[in-house]
Amino acid sequence: MSSTYMLKNPELVHILKQMLAAMEVKDYNKFRIRAYQNAIASIESLSTSVYTLWQQGRLSEIPGVGGGLTQVFKELFTTGEVLEFNRLKADLPAGMFALIGIRGIGSKKAFKLASAFALDDESTAVEEIKKIAEAGKIRDLPGFGERSEAELLAVITEMKLHKKEKERSLFVVAEQVAKRLEYYLRLCPEVSALEFLGSYRRREATVGDLDIAIVTAKPDEVFDHFEKYEEIEDVLVKGEKKMSVNLTNNMQIDIRTVSHEELGSMMQYFTGSKAHNIVLRTHALEQDKSLSEYGIKHGKSLKTFSREEDLYSYLGLSYIEPELRQGKDEVVLAQKKALPELVNLEDIKGELHVHTNFSDGANTLEEMVHAADALGYEYFGVADHAPSVSNRGLKEVMNITNTHIKSVEHINSSTNLKVLLGYEVNILANGSISLPDESLSKLNFAIGSIHTAFDQDRDTITQRLINAIEHPLINIIGHPSGRLLNERPACDVNWTAVFKSAIEHDKVIEINAQPNRLDLADDLVREACAMGVKIMINTDAHSTAGLNFMRYGVYVARRGWCSKEKILNTLPLKEFLRELNIRNI
């Protein structure tokens, strides 16, 4: 199937959000509006191209995408537009779409402002509404007033976006914020228990805001204590059971207080994901039960839960780990007690992708090996960036490689940890490998990675990866999609073709645990594992401290539904060497 309208996921989300806004303004059926909200949430977290899934007839695999949206996607991909949407927005002021997403401005307020002041140009609407607010003309609109005008002006001036439109924080950044918050909040004697919720608890690659449940009998004292936290920039909401603030780093924190008896219910509800809660709510309704943040209502009685495990059990389900709450088939499998037992950090027995000060690392080979030994690893592979033949010449490169081999042999003679030597070699733009076979053949293994020309078309970049997979001396494909979270999107790759090639040639695909990579993404990990691709987790550490990034890769594997049997570096040494086709042992 061919099309000249290969929209990328962000472009698709932008169109769907505009369609959603138009439907909200015109009071469309609430179930259809909810379907669009669910689909947008699913696509925003998706690494696989929706266009590719459509080509392959697999749109039903996206949580929240049913028959109606399938037709919308077909129309977009084949014609580049949606006729219904064109009709919907025909009498709407175009400027409203630029205002949506500014904090405090939803679709209906955006419509009211754009209509009142004839904002028909989306490109200038924000600047125009700022001038109008400065002139004091918004306060007289019904539903606004002097205070809301001042708040809108402040928001536009500072360009503080609504939390759903803010750039999401890397998980590692949110983790540091969470640790500081937890330490401070536990200083309050009225905090009996504390649990983080939301995308942070689901261990997603990026986190929007931080949601916290606090068990306390005295919410006011907890809120008063929290209000003194030095990182708070402004308080958004301070009610009886909820307090919301913005931190100086622009991250929003939502604290909810709860009794011990209701903690499990609140944890389940606010951990989400939204798609999972919809599926779970449907499952409960089939039993004439109603699910909420307070518990499960059956008839006129409300049953509360202090533990999530008991809530899932009450619905006839095995416990669903937070990482699996994706709105896919987890509820069906939980009914059958068929969910995977997910891999844990303690299962990892070694890794192969780290760097030393030979290339761009901070520590020596000996220091990196010592740190790996302290982690209790059975094996440890160093894969510095390969020396350049074009700069040094083949003879010098061979001498360097031989020196590295002797260094590793010396270390292996004095430690129980099995140290392996490899190189990370570039998959060049023309599809070739940056190091000749004469050098590669002397190593224990080699990792092929793309470091340049990320914007090549799909066919070209897919073939580059396949060329590396087909190379007899490449064992692993490193950080396969090339994405850098919040910096660079993933390459446009035909993953089905890449995974089939990896299976055919018995090669390994990496989950790179660098916090700004987390590559392969979790949805692709699940797809790869379902096909039978070999997967391993590496830190790509450039220092001894970087070896501790392994847990982030494990989180990705867990969100990719991986048991330890699916991850090669959970194997003991002898099996690991065999499965990786390690040479020169």
What's the topology of domain 272-335? Beta Polymerase; domain 3 (3.30.210)
The string of pLDDT tens digits covering residues 488-516 is 989 999 999 999 999 999 999 999 999 99
State residue 104's pLDDT score. 78
Phi, psi for residue 486 in degrees, rounded to 5: 65, 5
Three-state secondary structure call for residue 381: strand
Strand partners, 256: 213, 242
State residue 311's pLDDT score. 98
Residue 150 binned pLDDT confidence (cut-offs 50, 70, 90): confident
Q: Tell me what percent of the residues of the chain surpass a pLDDT of 90.
A: 68
Strands (E) in 465-505, as ranges, are 476-477
Q: Tell me what percent of the residues of the chain surpass a pLDDT of 70.
A: 97
Averaged over 384-409, what is the pLDDT?
90
State residue 235's pLDDT score. 93
pLDDT at 136 over 50: yes
Averaged over 462-471, what is the pLDDT?
97
Averaged over 159-166, what is the pLDDT?
58
Structure tokens belonging to residue 76: 């977009």
pLDDT at 5 over 90: no
Among the residue ranges 8-22, 311-325, 372-386, 442-456, the one predicted with the least confidence is 8-22
Burial class (CB in 10 A: 0-12, 13-18, 19+), 403: exposed
CA distance 410 to 406: 6
State residue 390's pLDDT score. 81
Residue 248 binned pLDDT confidence (cut-offs 50, 70, 90): confident
Among the residue ranges 9-23, 57-71, 130-144, 276-290, the one predicted with the least confidence is 57-71
Three-state secondary structure call for residue 288: coil
From residue 443, how far is each of 220, 435, 451, 475 by CA, in Å?
63, 12, 21, 11
Residue 153 binned pLDDT confidence (cut-offs 50, 70, 90): confident
pTM for this predicted structure: 0.84
Three-state secondary structure call for residue 100: strand
State residue 1's pLDDT score. 42
Strand partners, 380: 351, 419
CA distance 152 to 133: 8
Q: Does 53 or 409 have the greater pLDDT score?
A: 409
CA distance 368 to 537: 17
Residue 164 binned pLDDT confidence (cut-offs 50, 70, 90): low
**Sheet of strand 232-238: strand arrangement:** 193-196, 210-215, 252-258, 242-247, 232-238
pLDDT at 44 over 80: no
| CATH (residue range 169-258) | 3.30.460.10
State residue 367's pLDDT score. 96
pLDDT at 365 over 90: yes
What's the topology of domain 9-89? DNA polymerase; domain 1 (1.10.150)
Residue 159 binned pLDDT confidence (cut-offs 50, 70, 90): low
Residue 89 binned pLDDT confidence (cut-offs 50, 70, 90): confident
CA distance 104 to 155: 9
Mean residue pLDDT of the chain comes to 92
From residue 137, how far is each of 110, 113, 116, 146 by CA, in Å?
15, 11, 10, 9
State residue 163's pLDDT score. 54
Question: 537, 557 in Cβ contact below 8 A?
Answer: yes
Q: Which CATH number fits domain 345-579: 3.20.110.10, 3.20.20.140, 2.70.170.10, 3.30.1300.10?
A: 3.20.20.140
Q: Output the CA angle 236-237-243, nearest 5 degrees.
A: 115
Torsional class of 470: left (φ above 0), alpha (ψ -120 to 50), beta (otherwise): alpha
Averaged over 151-169, what is the pLDDT?
71
pLDDT at 162 over 80: no
Averaged over 429-444, what is the pLDDT?
94
State residue 165's pLDDT score. 61
Residue 243 binned pLDDT confidence (cut-offs 50, 70, 90): very high
State residue 3's pLDDT score. 54
Residue 160 binned pLDDT confidence (cut-offs 50, 70, 90): low
